[in-house]
A and B are shown apart, each in its own frame.
Chain A
Amino acid sequence: EAGVVQSPRYKIIEKKQPVAFWCNPISGHNTLYWYRQNLGQGPELLIRYENEEAVDDSQLPKDRFSAERLKGVDSTLKIQPAELGDSAVYLCASSFGNHEAFFGQGTRLTVV
């Protein structure tokens, strides 16, 4: 069974440019999470979806970050415009309800 798939694996962009990350969760998992992990820190939740509804986006910087999960399956996280401080690993995870969450490999973003 395929795990959580994220792409791209790595991304380097100049500041002020837009960037998007894609996540395909495990089949049948209705809950999807986006996390951000800064170097040397634990992951921090950005947004959590139940199907297509964002049930917790309190930590998402809404001035430049947006996310969507239109059909309740795969999801896209966008940053526009990117800042130097956005350099981090962006992790996607999925679960069936409140069961254990499984994480993808992450996208390492470098803003220069």
Chain B
Amino acid sequence: DAKTTQPPSMDCAEGRAANLPCNHSTISGNEYVYWYRQIHSQGPQYIIHGLKNNETNEMASLIITEDRKSSTLILPHATLRDTAVYYCIVRVIYDGGTSYGKLTFGQGTILTVHP
């Protein structure tokens, strides 16, 4: 599976946009970019995913560079409840083997939203 690199921690002021970067320079054509977050003492929560086009849902926006080697998760108006560990994951969708569907978590980015 392609590896991802994320900053260990970031801060953001409440009400401002939080932009979380992720580097995935070895991503393959059959791998999607997924983002999950984990609030303290809870299981990981799915946020968004994309292949090569930018995506937006009610939680966030995902911007993927044209060469697909990096991406940015954007929380447009961060709140205190967005304080969590954010994981960027590249996920094989199908390869005919056993790796497809596998979610491999790294260390993630600890996002702290402060008043």
Which residues of A are interface residues toward B (Cβ below 8 A)?
A: 4, 31, 33, 35, 41-45, 48, 55-56, 58, 91, 93, 95, 97-98, 100-106
Give the Cβ gap from B94 to chain A, nearest Cβ, in Å. Answer: 7
A106 and B43 form a contact (CB under 8 A)? yes
Interface size of B as a range: 20 to 34
Contact (Cβ within 8 A) B46 A102: yes
User: B98 contacts A43, CB within 8 Å?
Assistant: no
Residue numbers of B with Cβ under 8 A of A are 34, 42-46, 49, 85, 87, 91, 93-94, 98-108
Residue from B42, B106, B107, B108 within 8 A of A105 (CB atoms): B42
Docked CA distance A58–B93 (Å)? 19
Q: Shortest CB–CB separation between residue B36 and chain A, in angstroms?
A: 8
Return the contact of B43 from the options A44, A91, A100 (Cβ within 8 A). Answer: A91
- Determine whether the beta carbon of B44 is less than 8 Å from that of A44: no
**In the complex, which residues of chain B have a beta carbon less than 8 angstroms from the beta carbon of A103?**
43-45
Q: Which residues of B contact A104 (CB under 8 A)?
A: 43
Find A43's partner among B34, B100, B105 (CB 8 Å cutoff): B105
Tell me whether B102 and A56 are in contact (CB under 8 A). yes
Query: Do the beta carbons of B98 and A56 come within 8 Å of each other?
Result: yes
User: A101–B106 Cα gap in the complex (Å)?
Assistant: 16
Q: With A48-B102, A56-B98, A93-B43 as given contacts, are A100 and B107 in contact (CB-CB < 8 Å)?
A: no
Does the CB pair B94–A42 fall under 8 Å?
no
18 A-B residue pairs with CB within 8 Å = A4-B43, A35-B105, A42-B105, A42-B106, A43-B105, A55-B98, A91-B43, A91-B44, A93-B43, A93-B103, A97-B101, A98-B101, A100-B34, A100-B49, A102-B46, A103-B44, A104-B43, A105-B43
